[in-house]
Amino acid sequence: MSLDIKLLKKESLEQWFGKISASGRRILAPVERGGKVLFEEVSSPAEMAGDYIQTTLSAKSAVFPRCEELFGYALEGKEVKLEERKKEPQPTVVFGCRPCDAASFAILNSVFSWDCPDELFKQRLDKTAVVSISCKKSDQYCFCASVGGGPGDTKGSDVLLTELGSGDYLAEVITDKGKKLVALAPELFGAAPAEDKAKNLAKVPKEFDLKALSEKLGRLFDNNEFWLEQSLGCLGCGACAFACPACVCFDLQDEGNKKGGRRLRCWDSCGFALFTLHASGHNPRPAQSQRWRQRVMHKFGYLPDRLNYLGCVGCGRCSRLCPADMNLLEHLKEIMNRD
Amino acid sequence: MMDELRKKAKELLLAGAVKVVIGYGKGSGKKARPLFARRPEQADKLIFDGSCQQNLAVYLTKPELKALGRPAIVAALPAMRAILQLAMENQVAEGLLVVIGLSPEGKLIELPDFKAMEDYLAGAALELTAEQKAKLEKIEKMSPEERRQYWQDQFAKCIKCYACRAACPMCYCASCLVECNQPQWVPAPSHAIGNLQWHVIRAMHLAGRCVDCGDCERACPAGIPLSLLNQKLAAEVFKNFKARAGLSAKQEYALGVFKPEDKENFIK
Amino acid sequence: MENIYKPYLMRIEKVTEEAPGVLTFKLVFVDENEGRQFEFKAGQFGLYSVFGEGESTFCIASSPTRKGFIECTFRQIGRVTSALARCEEGDTIGFRGPYGNVFPIEDWKGKNLLFIAGGIALPPLRCVIWNALDTRENFKDVTIIYGARAVADLVYKRELEEWGKRPDLKLITTVDPGGETPDWKGQVGFVPTVLEKAAPASENTIALVCGPPIMIKLTLPVLAKLGFTPENIFSTLENRMKCGIGKCGRCNVGKLFVCKDGPVFTLAQLNSMPPEY
């Protein structure tokens, strides 16, 4: 994949959006809604949120919807007929997410594609293009640099835009998908200026070393007091898991009536008490401290061990929105401070 | 003032009167976060200022906290109301917890028993602010179709994370309605009808019980104005039954009591 | 497009009540071609669904040596199993599988097999038992020790009778003290006690143990005393499952998934896994 670097003027965004929409693609972009910044369908860049470091919820619903039909079923007496999803997913451009978000799609894919590939997910992923915008600002919750990312990292983006001092964008066209998007309006993409991308990026410090973290985690499993102390404030909701671009745990639910219905896949969270509850009443993780431990161990231990992907991109969403101010970066630093 | 608070907490821990002091500590950036002081020196980290909004009473019914032993709880007005409401519902008992009362300015209030709390609350301003009233009126002025559209749009954002439930001190049921699957009263996935059902049912379950701390709305990652639902129903309960939640440990639950004078005659 | 969540359609050919609340279904594939092509190995499980209620996980309790149908045995306890219990012969249910790892039966040629099971946990071993009996010449001594709380709770009663009559296997059935009926001819005592009394030889023997956690906890020391090593003791784990294919994230024990790395585990493996099951 050769890297094309172009200049996209700020005022050209409107036209580009127009050409993208006209091609039958929907555009999901950050929109200010009720005090939060959420990804919604837009037709113009004017609808986009102005100044945002990060959106409240991630864009993962583009490829992993909150509620998705797996198949339908019709009941006819003692017979059952299964019906496949008829509508193909609409081609989508996720516009204005950050480099951390762009990197998260590969993490979702690692789970859905390993062993038996999930075609429903793959269809959506194949039809989704990612146009990220580099970070000029970061806050104390960001730690992308500690998990293999960075404010201008290109990993996972089809096109990465970096806002320059002039307000125009440096456009790095990274993949074939990105090239196709640019080809919708090639006249809008001019020669790249000589400006250094790096000076337009936020400075995100590296807060910990992943290998050292993994090593310390390995020795912490049985330290119940440690996990209790960290999780006493945790209320056991699913906000962190649902906001997280890399969280992929799901539930299967049937909904229907005497005539038929559908089997649905929906988001779930290991933080819920019910997640591992057996019908017998036995629960392998009955205490919130064990569920908190599972969250950390899974993201920073089990998943990388198993599928070679870290389960976290350092976007900081979980910490920003936690009602009890559970700050993941702080918790990880606490782990690092132990022997 | 924070010195007084810290001193009180330390005394309680040193004397062994309580095993944990549930209060506020410094959080991320300008936020506060719940602090669970189990050793006297941890009491030095207690704070109380404008950033301390969370209703800490939510922790009184959590199994992990209960397992620590007798608690003291730093309680501003909403938490006081929550404690009295929990007491009324037999979830906390007088004498089994210590309440460290704080005025809105952060001044320590002596609250040796529930009656002291009731007396303090009797003099408190419980009406909605002008801003809150205006928000309610805006909805009340809408036609039924406009209201339906408004709430449909709001609930479309709901991701069913249950942060509203988790943050609410009155949502303490060990087995929440949504967790019953025989039958599945409320669908688990986030979709239009399920989201509507969830929020309407929760609002109904809180009618006459909600102490208007606003934690549900603060907790909601999708920015849904949940307080409007609870405030509206609280106003309806007050209008019909002259009852407000969390003002006494012994009041009856307006929606759970039948009296011969009730205007409905199905029970006669 | 291949949809990994789409189940096979199965018709319930026979319903057998094994014990109060415990049923066995014999299932045939609605599509006979699928039935002819279907293969699995002992130890694997499936997700059985009632459309409209959901899916539930049970092992495949019939032997892979018998083609065209599968059997499962379950206890009615929750939403889906209650819905399954309401099904009748002729009804259509769903089946996804076979999932999970297998008992390494090929490695056991020429060895003795010792099956120890309690209550509703006989089904996962029944698959292996029939597999072994259908290829009896591959194994030396076959011993089955099976117990339940009371006579009524014993499952596969007809097969127990059949097995008891076979000269090429040793069957010991037992019920807990107080669970016997006046005409009970088997032993009376907890499974670990009966095992200790029977004292099967550990040399060249593979032990398969399935039962309620308390039975396993008390049986393992007896096996150790008899000389069994952790590598030669096999068991199965159960955890709450939804996808069965390592994606939904809920059945993990540490970094292992019960649905992918299990459900069959040796004691040696279990000893190295965190106690989260």
Q: Which residues of A touch B (CB under 8 A)?
A: 33-36, 38, 56-57, 66-67, 139-141, 228, 231-233, 235-239, 241-243, 251, 253, 255, 264, 266-267, 269, 272, 274, 287-289, 319, 321, 323-327, 330
Does C6 contact chain A (CB < 8 Å)? yes
Contact A235 B163 (CB under 8 A): yes
Count of Cβ atoms closer than 10 Å to residue B254 Cβ: 17
Query: Taking chain C, what is the end-to-end CA distance rounded to the nearest angstrom?
Result: 35
Distance CA C69, CA C12 (A): 10
Nearest CA among B20, B15, B25 for reference residue B39: B20
Residue B112 CA to its chain's centroid (Å): 21
* Per-residue pLDDT at B71: 98
State the sign of the Cα–Cα–Cα–Cα dihedral C102, C105, C107, C111.
positive
Contact B54 A324 (CB under 8 A): yes
Distance CA B244, CA B128 (A): 12
* Per-residue pLDDT at C133: 96
How close C2 comes to chain B (CA, Å)? Answer: 24
Distance CA C196, CA A71 (A): 52
Please give the backbone phi and psi of residue C162, each rounded to the nearest 5 degrees, phi first: -60, -45
Distance CA A245, CA A225 (A): 29
Distance CA B97, CA B21 (A): 10
Distance CA A311, CA A241 (A): 11
C-chain residue closest to B183, CA distance? C79
Does B184 contact chain C (CB < 8 Å)? yes
Cβ within 8 Å of residue C214, ≥6 positions away: none
A286 contacts on C by Cβ (under 8 Å): none
* Per-residue pLDDT at C1: 74
Q: Are strands B98-102 and B71-75 parallel, antiparallel or unpaired?
A: parallel
Distance CA B21, CA B9 (A): 7
Computed on alpha carbons and rounded to an integer, the radius of gyration of chain C in Å comes to: 18
* Per-residue pLDDT at A40: 96
Low-confidence ranges of chain B (pLDDT < 70): 267-268
Size of interface A-C (CB pairs under 8 A): 122
What chain C holds in terms of domains, given with CATH numbers, is 8-99 (2.40.30.10), 105-236 (3.40.50.80)
Residue with tokens 């009524």: C152
Count of Cβ atoms closer than 10 Å to residue A167 Cβ: 9
* Per-residue pLDDT at C63: 95
Distance CA C189, CA C175 (A): 6
Distance CA B26, CA B36 (A): 12
Distance CA A219, CA A287 (A): 20
Quick one: CA torsion of A151, A153, A156, A158, rounded to 10 degrees?
Answer: 100
Cβ within 8 Å of residue B212, ≥6 positions away: B78, B81, B128, B227, B230, B231, B234
Please give the backbone phi and psi of residue C16, each rounded to the nearest 5 degrees, phi first: -120, 130
Size of interface A-B (CB pairs under 8 A): 120
Query: Taking chain B, what is the end-to-end CA distance rounded to the nearest angstrom?
Result: 56
Distance CA C128, CA C61 (A): 8
Nearest CA among A242, A38, A40, A256 for reference residue B160: A242
Please give the backbone phi and psi of residue C98, each rounded to the nearest 5 degrees, phi first: -85, 140
Cβ within 8 Å of residue B174, ≥6 positions away: none
* Per-residue pLDDT at A2: 57
Quick one: CA torsion of A149, A155, A156, A162, rounded to 10 degrees?
Answer: 90
B182 contacts on C by Cβ (under 8 Å): 78-79, 82
B185 contacts on A by Cβ (under 8 Å): none
Report percent pLDDT > 70 for chain C.
100
Cis geometry, peptide bond prior to residue A186 (ω within 30 degrees of 0): no
How close A228 comes to chain B (CA, Å)? Answer: 8
Distance CA C243, CA B11 (A): 53
How close C79 comes to chain B (CA, Å)? Answer: 6
Given a contact cutoff of 8 angstroms between Cβ atoms, the answer to whether A250 and C243 are in contact is: yes
pLDDT in tens, B34-82: 999 999 999 999 999 999 999 999 999 999 999 999 999 999 999 999 9
Distance CA B142, CA A187 (A): 48
Count of Cβ atoms closer than 10 Å to residue C137 Cβ: 6
Residue with tokens 């081609």: A91
Q: Mark out the alpha helices in chain B (DSSP H runs).
A: 2-14, 63-66, 77-88, 114-122, 130-140, 144-156, 163-167, 192-206, 215-219, 226-241
- A1 pLDDT higher than 80: no
Degrees (nearest 5) of the Cα angle C16, C17, C20? Answer: 170
Residue type present at position C215 = M
A331 contacts on B by Cβ (under 8 Å): none
How close B188 comes to chain A (CA, Å)? Answer: 7
Distance CA C183, CA A57 (A): 66
Contact A80 C92 (CB under 8 A): yes
State the sign of the Cα–Cα–Cα–Cα dihedral A153, A157, A159, A163.
negative
B-chain residue closest to A243, CA distance? B221
Given a contact cutoff of 8 angstroms between Cβ atoms, the answer to whether C47 and A263 are in contact is: no
How close A242 comes to chain C (CA, Å)? Answer: 14
pLDDT in tens, C34-55: 999 999 999 999 999 999 999 9
Distance CA B81, CA B94 (A): 14
Maximal CA-CA distance, chain B: 61
Token reading at A318: 């979980």
DSSP A133-150: E--S---TT--GGGGT--
Residue with tokens 């009890």: A324
Low-confidence ranges of chain C (pLDDT < 50): none
pLDDT in tens, A215-237: 999 999 999 999 999 999 999 99
State the sign of the Cα–Cα–Cα–Cα dihedral A243, A247, A249, A254.
positive
Q: Which residues of B touch A (CB under 8 A)?
A: 27-29, 31-34, 36, 54, 58-59, 62-65, 154, 157, 159-163, 165-167, 179, 184, 187-191, 215, 218-219, 221-225
B-chain residue closest to A279, CA distance? B181
Chains that touch A (3 or more CB pairs under 8 A): B, C
Distance CA A90, CA A24 (A): 8
Contact C78 B182 (CB under 8 A): yes
pLDDT in tens, A51-97: 899 999 999 999 999 999 999 999 999 999 999 977 889 999 999 99
Q: Which of B58, B64, B175 to mutate to test the interface with A (most CBs of A within 10 A)?
A: B64
Please give the backbone phi and psi of residue C115, each rounded to the nearest 5 degrees, phi first: -105, 125
Size of interface B-C (CB pairs under 8 A): 7
Token reading at B233: 């129903």
Token reading at A223: 């330290």
Average predicted confidence (pLDDT) for chain A: 96
* Per-residue pLDDT at A339: 79
C-alpha pair distances (Å), A50 with each of A96, B19, B178: 11, 48, 38
Computed on alpha carbons and rounded to an integer, the radius of gyration of chain B in Å comes to: 20
Distance CA B215, CA B169 (A): 9
E strand map for chain A: 4-8, 26-33, 36-42, 67-76, 79-83, 92-97, 128-133, 159-163, 169-173, 189-191, 250-256, 260-267
Length of chain C: 277
* pTM to 2 decimal places: 0.95
Q: What's chain C look like in SS3?
A: CCCCCCCEEEEEEEEEEEECCEEEEEEEECCHHHHHHCCCCCCCEEEEEECCCEEEEEECCCCCCCCCEEEEEEECCCHHHHHHHCCCCCCEEEEEEEECCCCCHHHHCCCEEEEEEEHHHHHHHHHHHHHHHHCHHHCCCEEEEEEECCHHHCCCHHHHHHHHHCCCCEEEEEECCCCCCCCCCCEECCHHHHHHHHCCCCCCEEEEEECCHHHHHHHHHHHHHCCCCHHHEEEECCCCCCCCCCCCCCCEECCEECCCCCCEEEHHHHHCCCCCC
Nearest CA among B192, B204, B186 for reference residue B158: B192
- A8 pLDDT higher than 90: yes
Nearest CA among B231, B199, B195 for reference residue B212: B231
* Per-residue pLDDT at B252: 87
Contact A280 C91 (CB under 8 A): no
Cβ within 8 Å of residue C74, ≥6 positions away: C22, C23, C25, C48, C56, C58, C81, C84
Find the CB nearest C3 among A120, A276, A278: A120
C78 contacts on B by Cβ (under 8 Å): 181-182
C-alpha pair distances (Å), A92 with each of A23, A59, A315: 10, 11, 22
